[in-house]
Amino acid sequence: MTGDWRTDRIGTALRGENPAVMRRLTAGFAVIGDVQFLPGYSVLLVDEPSVQRLTDLPRAKRRSFLSDMDQLGEAVERACRRLDPDFRRVNLEILGNTDPFLHAHVWPRYEWEPAELVGKPVWLYPRERWNNQQSRTGPQHDALREAIGSELDQLRSVA
């Protein structure tokens, strides 16, 4: 692999070179988020690099993508609930304002979040939370990655 995988997240996932990939799903890839200030943050990447919006997909593949999003959301919920008693809920978002490819954000939310932010969109967190080294995903998140991946495996085995 040459260059930074972050410049071609989907292409590197398709080639097996994206280190953030936790599991291959039906219509995309479940990846751990670049930041973990809310532990368990994950993203579903569509498996077609040219797809920019949900409506670019044929209806059957659109349903598969949304089903994958549901599955990733449930896996994050199960893993985070097991690992942190202050887990509250999961927020699911498809935004599309920045990155030019279809993806869905899966944000776990916690009781320990600041009172002024806990009931608001995660995007209102201060910039320093997104950019500091302590928030970056790294080896310290391996157990969390494995927990989410294991939950995805269990969900797929009963589907």
Q: pTM to 2 decimals?
A: 0.94
pLDDT of residue 1: 44
pLDDT of residue 159: 65
In whole angstroms, what is the distance from residue 40 CA to residue 36 CA? 7
Distance of CA 125 to the CA centre of its chain: 17
In whole angstroms, what is the distance from residue 158 CA to residue 52 CA? 31
Is pLDDT of 2 > 60? no
In whole angstroms, what is the distance from residue 52 CA to residue 33 CA? 19
pLDDT digit string, tens, across residues 13-35? 999 999 999 999 999 999 999 99
pLDDT digit string, tens, across residues 41-100? 999 999 999 999 999 999 999 999 999 999 999 999 999 999 999 999 999 999 988 888
- CATH numbers and ranges of domains, the chain: 5-158 (3.30.428.10)
In whole angstroms, what is the distance from residue 123 CA to residue 38 CA? 12
Distance of CA 14 to the CA centre of its chain: 17
More confidently predicted of 27 and 135:
27
Is pLDDT of 133 > 90? no
